[in-house]
């Protein structure tokens, strides 16, 4: 299946078209799923788990299901109460690990404080770990042979690839985030593309002195509470011609309109990293399914 967006550039008028690239990847996933289901007679299946009723998590997971189903991926969801014990959650993961109709498992983070996230993520079968967070998949990323990699960082480097920045030799990439979901996996994905990588975070002094050096600036601060808050990343904080990737939702970290005039390319919020995260998750589910049925 092809669509009219196939030929259009991903960076257009200084804006990285995350939705356009996401649609392209999702169409490719849908085509591959269709062919594999026709060949093997088994549909890929993603199972998500949320513990507690965080509205943000519920919204993101709903989007993941909708996109999966559109791509021909079956999905199931376990919404567990906030007071679910770690033991019960581990039992559920064990059951899903052993269910051969399930190809991908995603436990939405964060988890309630009484549950040890490391134990839960570590219990997921690496073959079904479509988040790429399990020890085996982190180890593969560390050595540069990743199979399933974290959706948001993977979406970011896929956008860079699509605008001709697949080799970042002599480029300085600055990440403002040190989380296990975004910043830490992104360090390795960028290093593996030969970037010089600097990581900044809430305890970094003089942030602009780093951001002004960035050829690629990835920001995931996420502290804006309203449209009226001052912008974190203003044009005076970036280098002329930089590529600026804004991971934060729903409000973004970047003064988009002002930065657009100075950057080579900047991602919009919404329509930038968010749709790419979904596309990379679907890619991971397809890859996990392919590995398990072959
Ligand atoms: N919470 C925020 N982003 C993510 C993600 O990519 N995966 C999971 N499992 N939880 C998240």
pLDDT tens digits, residue range 125-163? 999 999 999 999 999 999 999 999 999 999 999 999 999
- Number of C-beta neighbours around residue 209 at 10 A: 11
What confidence tens digit (pLDDT) does each residue in 164-196 have? 999 999 999 999 999 999 999 999 999 999 999
Q: Which two tokens stand for residue 176?
A: 């403002």
**Domains of the chain by start residue, with CATH:** 41-132 (3.40.50.10860), 151-275 (3.40.50.720)
Segments in 128-174 forming alpha helices (H): 135-143, 151-162
User: pTM, whole model, 2 decimals?
Assistant: 0.96
Closest atom of ligand 1 to CA, residue 151: 6
Across the chain, how many H-helices and E-strands are there? 10, 10
pLDDT band at 4 (very low <50, low <70, confident <90, very high): low
**Is any ligand 1 atom within 6 A of the Cβ of residue 107?**
yes
User: Which position among 17, 128, 129, 131 bears the catalytic label?
Assistant: 131
Active site residue 64: yes
Question: Which of the 8 DSSP states describes residue 171?
Answer: P
- Residue 168 · residue 194 · CB < 8 Å: yes
Burial 173-203 (b: 16+ CB within 10 A, else e): bbbbbbeebbbbbbbbbbbbbebebbbbeee
What confidence tens digit (pLDDT) does each residue in 222-258 have? 998 888 888 899 999 999 999 999 999 999 999 999 9
**Is any ligand 1 atom within 6 A of the Cβ of residue 108?**
yes
Active site residue 228: no
């Amino acid at each position: 299946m092809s669509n009219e967006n196939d030929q259009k550039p991903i960076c257009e008028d200084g804006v990285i078209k995350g939705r356009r690239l996401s649609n392209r990847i999702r169409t490719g996933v849908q085509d591959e799923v269709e062919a594999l289901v026709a060949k093997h007679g088994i549909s890929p299946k993603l199972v998500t788990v949320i513990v507690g009723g965080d509205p943000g998590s519920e919204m993101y997971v709903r989007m993941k299901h909708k996109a999966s189903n559109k791509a021909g991926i079956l999905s199931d969801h376990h919404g567990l109460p906030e007071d679910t014990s770690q033991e019960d959650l581990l039992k559920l993961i064990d059951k899903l690990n052993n269910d051969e109709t399930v190809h991908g498992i995603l436990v939405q983070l964060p988890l309630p404080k009484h549950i040890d996230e490391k134990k839960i993520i570590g219990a997921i079968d690496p073959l079904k770990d479509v988040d790429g967070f399990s020890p085996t998949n982190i180890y593969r990323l560390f050595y540069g042979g990743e199979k399933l990699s974290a959706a948001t960082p993977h979406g970011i480097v896929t956008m860079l690839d699509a605008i001709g920045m697949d080799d970042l030799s002599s480029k300085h990439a600055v990440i403002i985030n040190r989380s296990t979901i975004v910043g830490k996996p992104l360090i390795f994905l960028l290093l593996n593309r030969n970037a010089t990588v600097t990581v900044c975070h809430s305890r970094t002094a003089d942030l602009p002195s780093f951001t002004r050096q960035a050829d690629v600036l990835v920001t995931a601060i996420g502290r804006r509470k309203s449209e009226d808050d001052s912008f974190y990343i203003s044009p005076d904080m970036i280098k002329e011609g930089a590529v600026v990737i804004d991971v934060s939702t729903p409000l973004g970290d970047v003064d988009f309109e002002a930065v657009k005039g100075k950057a080579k390319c900047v991602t919009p919020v919404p329509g930038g990293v968010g749709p790419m995260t979904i596309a990379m998750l679907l890619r991971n589910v397809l890859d996990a399914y392919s590995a398990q049925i072959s």
